[in-house]
Amino acid sequence: MKKYLYWLLPVFWMGVIFYASDQPYEKQDIKPLLSGGLDLSYFEPLIDWISFTYNGTLVSVATHGVAGFIEFFIRKGAHVAVFLLLACFFYIAITKSSQLPFKYALAISFFGTLAYAITDEVHQGFTPNRTPFIGDVILDAVGAFTAVMLIIAIRHWKNRNG
């Protein structure tokens, strides 16, 4: 029974993700924090040449300001990091609670994380001032894939060295 307690890791983390996705953008806006306590003008000449479209919106210093531009990358980096952790937590729970072969544990960790990423974006469609976007699911999948690659690398390193 104790081995199933490891499932609290991914379940808790999915709860954290759900809570964050349930918050309107205004409650998560970190631009005031970024621009209020820091002088971001130093970064402007370094990043003002960068411009691209994401989800049909032009992302640049000109359109978002320095704080908004930096916030964009923080938010998208959070997608990768949060779902990287979820995939790791799934892997830990699976390996501690079952005898599944390594490749199946990895596959279930990856696809379980991807499935949750999809439901997370659907959930955002019902949250005020939030919109679901397949590009965010792709970022989440990058996080999950990175977790799988890290797990493989760690296992390879352990097998080689020990």
Separation in Å, CA 4 to CA 17, 73, 86, 90, 158: 21, 36, 16, 12, 25
**Residue 90 CB partners (closer than 8 Å, separation 6+):** 10, 108, 109, 112, 113
Tens digits of per-residue pLDDT, 12-22?
999 999 999 99
Tens digits of per-residue pLDDT, 87-130?
999 999 999 999 999 999 999 999 999 999 999 999 999 998 88
pLDDT of residue 40: 84
Residue 1: pLDDT band with limits 50, 70, 90: confident
31, 71 Cβ separation under 8 angstroms: yes
Question: What dihedral do alpha carbons 151, 152, 156, 159 form, nearest 10°?
Answer: 60
pTM over 0.75: yes
135, 54 Cβ separation under 8 angstroms: yes
pLDDT of residue 58: 96
